[in-house]
Amino acid sequence: MRIAIVEPRSAGHQLVDRSAELGYDTIVLTAGHGERRVPDAQLARASQVESVDTNDEAATLARLRKLHEQRPLDAVVPGFEHYVPLAATAAAGLGLRGLSAATALALRHKHVMRDVLAAHGIDQPGHVLVTDEAELAAATAAVGLPCVIKPVDQSGSLNVRKVATPAEAREAFRRIHGYGVGYLDRAGLPLVLVEEYVPGAEFSVEGYVDDGAVVVLGITEKQLGPEPWFVEVGHLLPARLDPGTARTVERYTVDVVRALGLELGPFHAELRLSDRGPLLMEVAARLPGDRIPDLLRLATGADLYAITLASYLGLPGPPEPSGPGTGHAGIRFFLRPGLDSYRRMEIAPELHADPRLREIGALVAPGRAVPAQGSSASRLGYALAATTSYRATTEALDAAELGTRFA
């Protein structure tokens, strides 16, 4: 099987690893610089690396056509959320399995997603699309304050902010509207969603679509950093929910995925539990980030990497679980507000001997500037744990948080 993975980032890195482990002929297409630089470890696992400006759709499609002519590809898989529409276009042009253009657009652009769900009568936060600052006052009045201001096409909580006053709303709007070229060397759309603020616990639902069936693999409990930002600082799987609530969340998510027309592959849906039930924050047609597929595999044995590859390849049935799993797994990210940089990461000796902790590592290298608060880039490091209980997993992550110092 010959698989092309377009610009792998985050979970896309592990997708390259898993593809190689499964014996697939894995081709990585990447720009190879800046935030579009794939680590050497993953490049070494690939059977072929193609350097191309992945933000240039025409150039990337032409490179994929050339690869297909040289020896037919069996699948084109997006390596990150921003490249889902491109992979869909490539698959359609090459006659391969993939998402339709309409589905890829609806799951990539949040304002389109909101419109599709509204047309299907699915309950969701109130929202207004704003293109000009002059429209902002009416939009915030329509949804009420406090509300959430967000871009329609970013990821990692970038520039998503809760605002409580008209002045804060204007500031958030200008931050998005004036963003220009930034993350991944891409210019964001000058569109802003003003959404109802939904208080309540936040969760994500991980799953995939196979032969028309929506399969939920797990519900992840999320821990967020301090508002007004919505930076995710922890995930626990499975979430601590009573069976009735879990079923309600699963049914709601299945309705969302079906309404959006997801034909195949993985999905990652984020929602909050409100007084009127689950309400969708957003959903994406990709692997979840923040190592959630690894948590899923550790806790349950379900291999969402292998499932994703099998889905795009059209292989029958989901792959067998890799093992029974520990039952619970979690990750904690370290925020240190006010820290501009650090020289060394100090880990308490007892953490190295703790069997509950599988990994502790840095995300921002020593000596580098710590990005400003307001996106996942501001997280300095992480700890990953797997145990037989929710409580033990939480305690291990708490110990790692307290025992890790950036000096």
Give the C-alpha distances (Å, rounded to integers) separating 339 from 290, 360, 371, 372, 379: 22, 19, 9, 9, 11
CATH fold of 2-98, please?
Answer: Rossmann fold (3.40.50)
Fold classification of 198-324 (topology level): D-amino Acid Aminotransferase; Chain A, domain 1 (3.30.470)
**CA 125 to each of CA 146, 196, 273, 390: distance values in angstroms, whole numbers, following the listed order:** 13, 5, 11, 30
Give the three-class secondary structure for 294: helix
Mean pLDDT of 165-170: 97
- In one-letter notation, the amino acid at residue 157 is S
* Angstrom distances, CA of residue 247 to CA of 119, 218, 235, 252: 24, 11, 20, 9
Is the CATH code 3.20.20.150 the one for domain 126-196? no
> Quick one: pLDDT at residue 211?
86
In this predicted structure, what is the pLDDT of residue 53?
98
Q: Burial, 353: exposed, middle or buried (Cβ in 10 Å; 0-12, 13-18, 19+)?
A: exposed
**353-366 residue pLDDT tens:** 999 999 999 999 99
Burial of 97 (0-12, 13-18, 19+ CB in 10 A): middle
Using pLDDT thresholds of 50, 70 and 90, give the confidence band for residue 155. confident
Class of domain 326-407: alpha beta
Please confirm whether the linkage preceding 146 is cis (ω < 30° from 0).
yes
Kindly indicate the confidence band of residue 13, based on its pLDDT and cuts at 50, 70 and 90.
Answer: very high
- Residue 322: is its pLDDT beyond 80? no
Same fold, 198-324 and 326-407: yes
Do 161 and 228 contact (CB within 8 A), yes or no?
yes
The mean pLDDT value of the chain amounts to: 95
Band of pLDDT at residue 159, cut at 50, 70 and 90: confident
Give which of 25, 59, 52 is closest to 313, Cα–Cα.
25
CB distance 19 to 3 below 8 Å: yes
Choose among 376, 364, 331, 363: nearest CA to 157: 376
Do the Cβ atoms of 197 and 129 come closer than 8 Å?
no
Q: Which of 289, 284, 299, 276 is nearest to 253 (CA)?
A: 284
Domain boundaries, the chain: 2-98, 126-196, 198-324, 326-407
Q: Which amino acid is at 37?
A: R
- First vs last Cα of the chain: how many Å apart? 48
